[in-house]
Chains A and B, each alone.
Chain A
Amino acid sequence: MMVQTMNNTLGFPILSMLIFLPLVGAAVILLMQRANEKAIKMVSLLVSIATFVLSLPLFTNFDKSTHLMQFVERHEWIPSLNMNYYLGLDGISVLFVLLATLITILCVLISWESIKTKTKEFFISLLVMEGAMIGVFCSLDFMLFYIFWEAMLIPMYLLIGVWGGPNRVYAAVKFFLYTLVGSVLMLVGIIVLYFYAGRTFDILDLMTKAYPYKMQLILFWAFFAAFAVKVPMFPVHTWLPDAHTEAPTAGSVILAAVLIKMGAYGFLRFSMPLLPDASRAMTPVMLTLSVIAIIYGGIICLAQTDLKRLIAYSSVSHMGFVTLGIFALNTQGVEGGILQMLNHGVVTGALFLSVGIIYDRTHTRVIADYGGVASVMPIYASLFIVFTLASIGLPATNGFIGEFLILLGGFAANQWAGVLAASGIIIGAGYMLWLYQRVFFMEMNPKVAGLQDVNMREFITLLPMVVLIFWIGIYPNMFLSFMHPSVQHLLERVNSGGAPAVAVNVVTQILR
């Protein structure tokens, strides 16, 4: 068998430590006095910062010259079923771990004052969530992946349902059931794959096998059930607006920044390399669904009266871009898709954080309750415009790079898809700028008179996002360089079963 992994050169099991450090933090909080809220918050903050610092070697020590799995750990777990505790990262997954560890710090900070009941349970859920999220991106054993994937449901269900808005219970149950139904179908698919491939859950091993076309098609839709719900793709996106809107700020941020990325990640990590023929065959369907999501999500945004709901639907539209890029099945598209996943995590995360900041002051999410905020909260307004423009995809912000690459790839894959998707950017500019206008300019609404501008804690929470937006926007290669070999390897696998679906020279396309 080909060697597909590299040894961990760090000298310590970094991935396990990343997964278990937050869990240990959660256990510590579990043992703490409920009344001592200050200490609980401090422990969560310290644990999340420690996890982030611990994750930095992933950024600095990652070998960008190879598609092989790095920082690998492997231990026997259930030998009789050939299930292993098998972790590793490649260029596709590494950045998401960093995103998850960063986002968790921000979530702790933003919840500092807004969580007033069951503080202990909240921070336990948040840290358990972080551990499970990191686990999802690190797993190289399909069942291990599935276990982290499902285990995430419990803290997320609680985050939405316990600390969310007025309609939180409905949103939480809807989120749980949608995701669960999708996941269990994937579980059946995993087991079928396991027996066909000769009893293994090892993803790298599974990728070396060829599966009959018909089986690939069935499995593709079984996996689709899980991943498309998570993304969420049209038409299974309806849980997202509810969950995003009702969740507490930290919950919305985690959902937007990390959780829904897992759907797209699932396509990249499982559907495409395991089921290359089916993925190629299903490209038209996936592109169509993506374009519908882009345009439909955008148009619905125009009609929203609720701040968070608007941003939630914009996620549907933006994730449409991601799936479009991924299923363009060419380098630009896939790299753009992955970059856009990060971008969307940063930008939409930042938007939800910002909405949380103003919601803590006004306790309303209705757009009509705002107006003229720029004159009372100037710093906040200038931060928000950065996020707005990044969301639209203005050059020099990260949104531009991602969407540009995706459109390049999408156009090469299918000209109509590219053209239609581009119109989504225009709609995006429309609803975001209009939102900005209604909230920050126009006549001052008496309800916002006298609001305090962002304090130091809130400013620090938003600052990393601003930095990332310009960093990725101005020097994207820093991040793209992580992906090149892995994406190349992935595309070789996907396009190996015949002529590549798209072999158009993109440069000539543009020049023409």
Chain B
Amino acid sequence: MPIAMPNLTPVMPEVVMTCVAIIMLMAELVIKRKETLGFLTILSVGLISYLLLGSAGTTFGGMFVSDGYSTFFKLIFMVNLVLTVLISPKYLQTMRINFGEYYALALFATLGMMLMASAADIIVLYLGLELMALSTYVLAGFIRYDMKSNEAAMKYLLLGAFASAILLYGTSLIYGLTGTTNLKDIAAYITNNGLAKNPLLTVSMIFFGVAFSFKIAAVPFHMWAPDAYEGAPTPITAFMSVGPKAAGFAVLGRVFLVAFGSVRADWSMVLIPIAVLTMAVGNIIALSQTNIKRMLAYSSIAHAGYMLLGIIAGTPSGLSSVLNYMFIYAFMNIGAFAVVIMLRTEGFAGEDISDYEGLGKTHPTAAALMLVFMFSLTGIPPMAGFMGKFYLFMSAINAGYTWLVIVAVLFSAISAYFYLRIVMLMYMREPKEVIQLNTSPGIGLALALTVSAVIFIGVLPSAVMDLARTAAASF
């Protein structure tokens, strides 16, 4: 029996991406200037983004779906990849880890995220998740001679492996219950056979929740994040804080709202305490950090907590507010990390929060940019971060979770303290020593892009919001 050629249009961006990544791996052997690889990566992202726009459809027997939802997430991954590549080269040179595999690995990780966003079947989901995770483990440990980097990779690998195992266990349970791994079929089976109250379903949902919580670094499964974020090369920290988190939310949204959509009342009971804990732990522990990468790690944990509100709301507007927030978060967070990278010079880590003292005097532009990102992360208008939070809170209140929003706004007020501390140190303290900035055209461009996006979306958020709304309505 001849096997019909599957429709490749929906999966074309991924196909191209795989080819590009493999070519990069080969090209690395002959290309001496590694920046060229970065440049090629950005070019290929252009091509892939173009392919993304015309990729709608389902293929591989319903295992892979390309809809507005997945496309929006893939857009975020593209933004994440481009910004990461822009801020990387100078840092890699400074750290003497300028190897070509870096770009190939970043491409493979992004490919994994894309698969996750498009997964209509748990098998594809798992495939993507592992591809993403394995590539990111390597990237986290990229500074081979550095103990902290090794520790970061090791911790991330071990805990990530646990998460994968738990995910597989959940998958096996759900397969045992329903006889399928296709998300839509699972949903249909649950409703048709009245499985809603089946304890095994609850257990497997909890397993899924735990596994995804690892990926988005939600409390109590966040332990790896601060160490991994601190030890990893800073561009990779930026990459990890956005990409895998976005991918985690992509699958969280799809699995819980599609497969388990009919038992929302049950899983929201699990997600609500997780969200509250995540906001609490993230924001409160961030208060006491002295390392900026760790502080941003806890901040990124807290932001996952805010975003969970949108998933808990479970409505289309809740989902679109998550997409919207993730998009905004990509810009403001990577922007902040770009400033952190600039402070890194040979022999000077620049990762201590006290290194920011007097930056407003010695480097006014860098300080002003950091100020914008810090206020955006706090959620103060007219920065985009406010619009993102506002939209999240609106959808949660509309879904009836007013008390949860009150908790969220109070924690977000607490978060002001540690973001403000950076601003305070930059502008209200005298510089201890003159810090050299390690700038490059790439970082400059990344900062220009992120700061314009943060202010533009903050003032005119309509376009992104509408895009997110259409995306969320697509499944």
Which residues of A approach B to under 8 Å, CB–CB? Answer: 34, 77-81, 118, 121, 143, 146-147, 150-151, 153-154, 157-158, 161-162, 168-169, 172-173, 176-177, 180-181, 184-185, 187-188, 191-192, 194-195
Residues facing A in B430-475 (CB within 8 A) are: 460-462, 465-466, 469
Of B390, B391, B393, most A-chain CB atoms within 10 Å = B390
Select A78's contact among B393, B410, B417, B462, beta carbons within 8 Å.
B462
The answer to whether B375 touches A162, judged by C-beta atoms less than 8 angstroms apart, is no
Contact B462 A187 (CB under 8 A): no
Find chain A residues with CB under 8 A from B386 CB: 147, 150
Complex Cα–Cα for A151 and B381 (A): 5
Would B405 and A188 count as touching, CB distance under 8 A? yes
- Asked whether, in the complex, the Cβ of B427 is within 8 Å of the Cβ of A158, the reply is yes
Which single residue of chain B is at the shortest CB-CB distance from A168?
B428
Ordered by A's residue number, 24 sampled pairs between the chains whose C-beta atoms are within 8 Å are A34-B364, A80-B469, A81-B391, A81-B465, A118-B427, A121-B360, A121-B364, A121-B427, A143-B390, A150-B381, A151-B380, A157-B420, A162-B360, A168-B428, A169-B428, A172-B428, A173-B420, A176-B416, A177-B417, A180-B413, A188-B405, A191-B394, A192-B397, A195-B397
Contact present for B397 and A188 (CB under 8 Å): yes
Contacts of B148 in A (CB 8 A): none
> Given the interface contacts A161-B427, A187-B390, A188-B409, does A146 sit within 8 Å of B461 by beta carbon?
no
List the A side residues contacting B57 at CB < 8 Å: none
Known: A80-B466, A184-B412, A192-B402. 8 other contacts (CB 8 A): A81-B465, A118-B361, A162-B360, A169-B424, A180-B416, A185-B406, A188-B405, A195-B398
Query: In the complex, what distance in Å separates the CA atom of A477 from the CA atom of B393?
Result: 46
Whether the Cβ atoms of B394 and A81 lie closer than 8 Å is yes
Q: How far is the CB of B413 from chain A (nearest CB, A)?
A: 5
B457 to chain A, nearest CB (A): 11
**Residues 365-384 of B at the A interface (beta carbon under 8 Å):** 375, 380-382
A78/B428 in contact, CB under 8 A: no
A78-B461 in contact given A187-B393, A191-B397 (Cβ < 8 Å): yes
CA distance A78 to B464 in the complex (A): 11
Partner of A161, one of B393, B417, B428: B428
Number of B residues whose C-beta is below 8 Å from A? 34
Give every chain B residue within 8 A of A194 (Cβ-Cβ): 394
Q: Which of A180, A192, A194 has the most chain B CB within a 10 Å cutoff?
A: A180
Which residue of chain B lies nearest to A30 when distances are taken between CB atoms in the complex?
B368
Q: Contact: B417 with A79, CB < 8 Å?
A: no
Give every chain A residue within 8 A of B391 (Cβ-Cβ): 81
Among A81, A154, A184, A192, point to the contact of B375 (Cβ < 8 A).
Answer: A154
Q: How far is the CB of A199 from chain B (nearest CB, A)?
A: 9
Q: Is the CB of A188 within 8 A of B406?
A: yes
Q: A184, B413: Cβ atoms under 8 Å?
A: yes
Query: Which of the residues B364, B381, B427, B462 comes within 8 Å of A147, measured between beta carbons?
Result: B381
Set A77, A154, A188: member contacting B402, Cβ < 8 A: A188
Q: How far is the CA of A157 from the CA of B466 in the complex (A)?
A: 33
Among candidates B375, B394, B416, B466, residue contacting A177 with C-beta atoms closer than 8 Å: B416
> Which among B393, B398, B412, B420 has the highest number of chain A CB atoms within 10 Å?
B420
| Complex Cα gap A322–B173 (Å) | 67
Does B380 lie within 8 Å of A150, measured CB to CB?
yes
Q: In chain B between 84 and 112, which residues have their CB closer than 8 angstroms to a CB of chain A?
A: none
**A177, B462: Cβ atoms under 8 Å?**
no
Of the candidates A78, A154, A162, A181, the one whose C-beta lies within 8 Å of that of B465 is A78
How far apart sit A77 and B387, CA to CA, in the bound complex (Å)? Answer: 13
A150→B385 CA distance, assembly (Å): 13
Expressed in whole angstroms, the Cα–Cα distance for A180 and B465 within the complex equals 25
When distances are taken between beta carbons in the complex, the residues of chain A under 8 Å from B461 are 78
With a cutoff of 8 Å between Cβ atoms, the chain A residues found around residue B398 in the complex are 195
A147/B397 in contact, CB under 8 A = no
User: Are A77 and B424 closer than 8 Å at their CB atoms?
Assistant: no
Give chain B residues whose Cβ lies under 8 Å from the Cβ of A79. Answer: 462
**Using an 8 Å CB-CB cutoff, how does the interface string of B334-363 with A read, 1 for contact, 0 for none?**
000000000000000000000000001100
> Does A153 lie within 8 Å of B361, measured CB to CB?
no
Q: B366 → chain A, closest Cβ, in Å?
A: 14
- Choose among B406, B413, B427 the residue that contacts A162 (Cβ–Cβ < 8 A): B427
How near does chain A come to B437, taking the closest CB pair, in angstroms? 17
Min CB gap A472→B, angstroms: 34
Cβ of B394 to closest chain A Cβ, rounded Å: 5
In the bound assembly, the distance between CA atoms of A192 and B402 in angstroms comes to: 8
Residue of B nearest to A187 (CB): B409
List of B residues within 8 angstroms of A169 by Cβ:
424, 428
Establish whether residues B409 and A184, one from each chain, have CB atoms under 8 Å apart when the complex forms.
yes
Neighbouring B residues of A81 by C-beta, 8 Å: 391, 394, 465
Closest to B458 in A: A147
A79-B462, A80-B469, A176-B420 are known contacts. Are A191 and B393 too (CB-CB below 8 A)?
Answer: yes
